[in-house]
Amino acid sequence: MELAISYKRFSSPAQARGRSEGRQGDETEAYCIRKGYKLTETFVDRGFSAYTGENSDKGDLKAIMDLARAGRSPPSRRGTSRGCRAAR
C-alpha cells in the first residue's frame, strides 16, 4: 500500500469557524480510500496566506517542501495533525 500525506490550509478566521478544514479532510480521506493509499500524516496551515506565500515561507507547506528537498518523508504518525498556529 502506498503512503500519503495530507496538506490542508485556510487563511481567514471565517474559514476557521466553518467547515473548511473538515471538508478538506473528508475529501482527502475519500480520495485515499478510492486510490488505496494509507494516509499517514496531516499537515495543516491555519491562518497562513497562500496569496502572499506565507505558507511556503514558514508554514507546514514549508516543512513538507524542506523534507522533500532533503529526500526525506514525514514521520508516520497516523491520526495526528500538525498545525503551526491557530487562525487569526
pLDDT at position 35, please?
A: 94
- For the chain, which residues make up each domain, given as ranges? 3-83
Q: Answer yes or no: are the C-beta atoms of 16 and 86 closer than 8 Å.
A: yes
pLDDT band at 83 (very low <50, low <70, confident <90, very high): very low
Cα–Cα distances in Å, from 77 out to 22, 24, 28, 73? Answer: 19, 19, 16, 12
For the chain, give the mean pLDDT.
79
Tens of pLDDT along 43-77?
Answer: 988 888 888 888 888 889 998 888 888 888 766 54
